[in-house]
Amino acid sequence: MKVLVAGSGIIGVSSAYYLAKAGYDVTVIDREDGAAMGTSHANAGQLSYAMSSPWAAPGVPYKAIRWMFSKYAPLIVNPRLSFITIKFIISILRNCTTNRYITNKSRMMRVSSFSKKTVAEFINENDFDFELRNNGVLQIFRTNKQLAECKKDIAIYEKYGVKYEVLDAEGCVKAEPGLRHVKNKIKGGLRLIEDQSANCFMFVNKLVEKCKTLGVNFEYGVEINKINTIDGNVSSIETSNGEYMADNYVVALGCDSSSVLKPLGVLLPIYPVKGYSITLPVKEDLDAPQGSLVDETYKVAITRLGDKVRVAGIAELTGYDKSLSNKGEEITTFVINNIFPKATKETTDNEFWAGLRPMTPDGTPIIGKTQYRNLFLNTGHGTLGWTMGLGSGKLISLIISGDNTQVDLDGLGIERYQ
Ligand SMILES: Cc1cc2nc3c(=O)[nH]c(=O)nc-3n(C[C@H](O)[C@H](O)[C@H](O)COP(=O)(O)OP(=O)(O)OC[C@H]3O[C@@H](n4cnc5c(N)ncnc54)[C@H](O)[C@@H]3O)c2cc1C
């Protein structure tokens, strides 16, 4: 049986891997000239299974207004608001109630917990280096208010049996010795002990090689133009490289999933939330992060990847524009110099990058069937595609095979919007 996977980011390649393992004849197509050239290219590298929370949460609307007036704001809204941006903001606001937050969080935790299990299985079965670090993820609080507020999250972690520790400034320095230079700026931290960090781009490219050994065919430079349907089935996909036909089709096109599927009446509420990263060479090992952190004040993630440090964050609402802005570079550079002042070397090539997070208003990805019998969705992973990637790939393979998914699928599919 043939499956065509559209998209070779972390989600498409993970789907291809598990489908090939299940015995399908898989082809992956992508318009780029290699794998992980879209949003999976230079993300923050956090495998935040425990920290999987929707952005839309009670209190966020007030915080958002405050952020818009701060110098190094984690949220930037283009003042020329387009229709799609307004629609997205409204749908985010609707999800900021306590009830919706709890529902959305529990759906996301279901996918992330499954992914955590899948990553562990994968590591047992495969021996390849992708700069994985098992140091947990440390949230750094610069104010007593942030420290007090983390109690709400702790109640949720207790409920889900997540291993965590609350640290004072001394404890933060013990976990991350590079923070010793700024101990006076830190009020405390929350460490999610079992979260991890690793290089997504490296992983996807190594997984492509693994997939090839299982017979997966990758075709690059192939732009999808149109999807044809007959009698409730997809019949073919028209591309810049001709027509592709398969028995089943998986759409893993990140932010572009919505525009490609709209003509078919499959309406996905995915909005491209732009983020930035810079990647800098480490100067001195013990002055640099050993694992991954989030500076809660600026909502910026700082991750050690091999002999480099990746600094990533910012949510910019500006539609599909992927251009690099001075503001993005200014904020990420400020945060790394402020919290790890001796970590990185000066360089003329700081690998500054921007990517579009495929965000759904409820933070949950869209995984499952559509109204077309042989068309499946694996998209909308927003801020957590790397975390949820392997689990989502395995999940879509189990759904297509009709096997027991081991995960309650309720609320994960497109039907929740209908
Ligand atoms: C700054 C930043 C930091 C992040 N940090 C983290 C993190 O720490 N942890 C985490 O879990 N997640 C993180 N994320 C989110 C994560 O990177 C994404 O959720 C994930 O990469 C999405 O993967 P994807 O495969 O769905 O999309 P993509 O990687 O974008 O892949 C989609 C593919 O589809 C292809 N495509 C699109 N349209 C077409 C078409 N018409 N024809 C052919 N091909 C097409 C594209 O070329 C692309 O290769 C971060 C994101 C950003 C921007």
Instruction: Kindly state whether residues 159 and 78 are assigned to the same domain.
Output: yes
Do the domain assignments include residue 122? no
The whole-angstrom separation of Cα 275 and Cα 321 is: 11
- 190 and 141, same domain (yes or no): yes
Q: What type of residue is 169?
A: A
Mutation pick for ligand 1 pocket among 204, 386, 387, 390 (CB with most ligand atoms within 8 Å): 386
State the closest ligand 1 atom to the C-alpha of 38, by its place in the atom list counted from 1: 30
Q: How high is the pLDDT of residue 350? A: 82
Name the token pair of 147: 């420290």
Residue 310 has pLDDT above 90, yes or no: yes
The domain in which residue 59 lies consists of 54-95+132-196+271-359
Phi and psi at 50, nearest 5°, equal -80, -35
> Where is the domain boundary, 309, 337, 359?
359
89 and 159 fall within a common domain: yes
Q: Is the pLDDT of residue 17 over 90?
A: yes
| Confidence check: pLDDT of 393 > 90 | yes
What residues does ligand 1 touch, defined as CB less than 6 Å away? 7-12, 30-32, 37-40, 43-46, 48, 223-224, 252-254, 256, 260, 275-277, 301, 312, 355, 357-358, 379, 381-387
CA of 350 to the centre of ligand 1 (A): 21
End-to-end CA separation in angstroms for the chain: 31
Q: Which two tokens stand for residue 176?
A: 């991350």
| One domain for residues 264 and 374 | yes
| Residues 305, 208 within the same domain | no
Domain final residue, candidates 359, 377, 407: 359
Q: If you average pLDDT over every residue of the chain, what do you get?
A: 95
**Most informative mutation of 28, 33, 40 for ligand 1 (most atoms within 8 A of CB):** 40
Q: Is residue 353 part of a domain?
A: yes
Assess whether pLDDT exceeds 80 at residue 27.
yes
Confidence (pLDDT) at 349: 82
Examine the pLDDT at 151 and tell me if it is beyond 90. Answer: no
The domain tally of the chain equals 2
* Ligand 1 mean position, distance from CA 186 (Å): 33
pLDDT at 68 over 80: no
pLDDT value at position 196?
98
**Whether the predicted pLDDT of 285 surpasses 90:** yes
**227 and 172 inside one domain:** no
**What is the rounded distance in angstroms from the CA atom of residue 373 to the CA atom of residue 379?**
18
Same domain, 206 and 256: yes
Residue 47 Cα, ligand 1 centroid: separation in angstroms? 15
- What CATH number is associated with residue 393? 3.50.50.60
Summarize pLDDT for 251-281 with one digit per residue, the tens.
999 999 999 999 999 999 999 999 999 999 9
Pairwise CA distance, residues 209 & 276, whole Å: 28
> Which residues lie closer than 8 Å to 349 by C-beta, 6 or more apart?
none
User: For residue 30, which atom of ligand 1 is closest to its CA?
Assistant: 44
Residues 371 and 223 placed together within one structural domain of the fold? yes
Q: 163 and 33, same structural domain?
A: no
In a domain, 124, yes or no: no
Q: What percent of the chain has pLDDT over 70?
A: 100
Q: Identity (one letter) of the amino acid at 40?
A: S
Is residue 165 scored above 90 in pLDDT?
A: yes
Protein residue with least CA distance to atom 48, ligand 1:
38
The atom number, within ligand 1, closest to the CA of 277 reads 1
In a shared domain, residues 367 and 341:
no
> Does pLDDT of 333 surpass 80?
yes
- Is 66 within the bounds of a domain? yes
| Residue 24 domain flag | yes
Which CATH number belongs to the domain containing residue 138 in this structure?
Answer: 3.30.9.10
CA dist., res. 170 & res. 176, Å (int): 10
Task: Identify the residue whose C-alpha is closest to ligand 1 atom 25.
Answer: 9
pLDDT above 90 (res 368): yes
For residue 190, report the distance from its CA to the centre of ligand 1, in Å: 28
Evaluate whether residue 183 is within a structural domain.
Answer: yes
Q: Where are the alpha helices (DSSP H) in 227-380?
A: 257-261, 326-339
Residue 107 lies in a domain: no
> Do 351 and 383 belong to one domain?
no
pLDDT at 418 over 90: no
**Per-residue confidence band for 370, with pLDDT thresholds at 50, 70 and 90:** very high
- Per-residue pLDDT for 24 more than 90? yes
**Residue 293: which residues within 8 A CB-CB, separation 6 or more?**
137, 138, 139, 140, 176, 301, 302, 303, 339
Q: Is the dihedral of CA 372, 114, 153, 185 positive or negative?
A: negative
Does 300 map to a domain? Answer: yes
* 28 lies in the same domain as 88: no
Report the side by side order of strands in the sheet with 233-239.
224-230, 233-239, 242-244
Domain limit, last residue, from 330, 359, 388: 359
